Amino acid sequence: MIRVLLLAGTAEARALAEALAGISGLAVNASLAGVTTDPAPIAVETRRGGYGGATGLAQYLADHGIAAVIDATHPFAAQMATNAVLACTATTTPRLRLLRPPWPPTGNWRSFPDLTTASAALPPGAHVLLTSGRKEIAPFAARPDLTCLLRVIEPVANLPGHITQLIARPPFTLDAELALMRSHAITHLVSKNAGGPGRAKLDAAARLNLPILMIERPAPPPGPTVATVEAAVAWLRETVAIDA
Ligand code: NAP
């Protein structure tokens, strides 16, 4: 049996698990960071929680006889991607990064390296739709002159009064995004360049001619990278000896 570790936490990881689940001779183990309390189901055996850094992951790879690692974590999960590089290098385990393409610029788009610089660029009094996740809210918490609508999948505790949270799970349609932006009198959209299907917010902001403050991705890790589930399956077939 060939054992493969799938670092998950994205829709592509779920799709890849689905594609690999039926292949005979292959045992795929997936892992989630464990930050979401009710994650969407994955078609293969899945563990929750970290490994204890790159060293812990290297130990896990050795202990479980892992023949290949596919890192299908989110484009902004830079720590996990780095850990995967280090652990796979240390154990000479083949590793692939499955990384969805970024969104191309649209509308009134400005790129920023991080949320701190994006926050600093917002004018006083702006009504901001924050879709950049639950991490790193501090730059916006430090701007009480803004009115922020923070869209998150799970509630965030201890938000200041000028940040209201909206608990919602994608997908979102263009009409729903337009209605949301209009009803909250949104003047600016802040997003990470996650890529993938969730671009209706960009199309809505472009339609309303709202400035889009886009946090661009951290540099991807070195080594082989593919953009699709099909290419990841093909890489695995070339890298380990799968029968079917
Ligand atoms: P991160 O900063 O790169 O990783 C932080 C730590 O979380 C890692 O060092 C690792 O802990 C653990 N971890 C991360 N992904 C893991 C996985 N798939 N399996 C097991 N442990 C994992 O990651 P993050 O940005 O917090 O993202 C956490 C998870 O949410 C990832 O699975 C990612 O795909 C998903 N996600 C992230 C974003 C985002 O915007 N960052 C958006 C959507 C989904 P140890 O060092 O202890 O191993």
- Indicate if 25 and 74 belong to the same structural domain: yes
Q: Which of 137, 132, 136 is nearest to 198 (CA)?
A: 132
Distances (CA, A) of 155 to 37, 133, 244: 11, 11, 44
Ligand 1 pocket residue status of 69, Cβ below 6 Å: no
- In this prediction, the residues of the chain whose per-residue pLDDT falls under 70 are 243-244
- Indicate if 95 and 112 belong to the same structural domain: no
Q: Which of 217, 216, 210 is nearest to 123 (CA)?
A: 210
- Indicate if 94 and 131 belong to the same structural domain: no
Ligand 1 pocket residue status of 227, Cβ below 6 Å: no
Read off the pLDDT of residues 179-203 as tens digits, 9 standing for 90 and up.
Answer: 999 999 999 999 999 999 999 999 9
Q: Which of 149, 105, 109 is nearest to 131 (CA)?
A: 149
Report how many domains make up the chain.
2
Q: What is the pTM of this model?
A: 0.94
- Indicate if 124 and 197 belong to the same structural domain: yes
- Indicate if 147 and 172 belong to the same structural domain: yes
- Indicate if 114 and 207 belong to the same structural domain: yes
Ligand 1 pocket residue status of 10, Cβ below 6 Å: yes
**Domain of 68: which CATH number?**
3.40.50.720
Q: Which of 78, 79, 77, 51 is nearest to 66 (CA)?
A: 51
- Indicate if 230 and 171 belong to the same structural domain: no
Distance 179 CA to ligand 1 centre (A): 32
**Which ligand 1 atom sits nearest the alpha carbon of residue 56?**
48
Read off the pLDDT of residues 88-111 as tens digits, 9 standing for 90 and up.
Answer: 999 999 999 999 999 999 999 999
Q: Which of 45, 46, 73 to mutate to test the pocket of ligand 1 (most atoms within 8 A of CB)?
A: 73
Instruction: Tell me if 71 sits within 8 A of 97, measured CB to CB.
Output: yes
Whole-number pLDDT of residue 235: 97
Q: Which domain holds residue 204?
A: 108-215
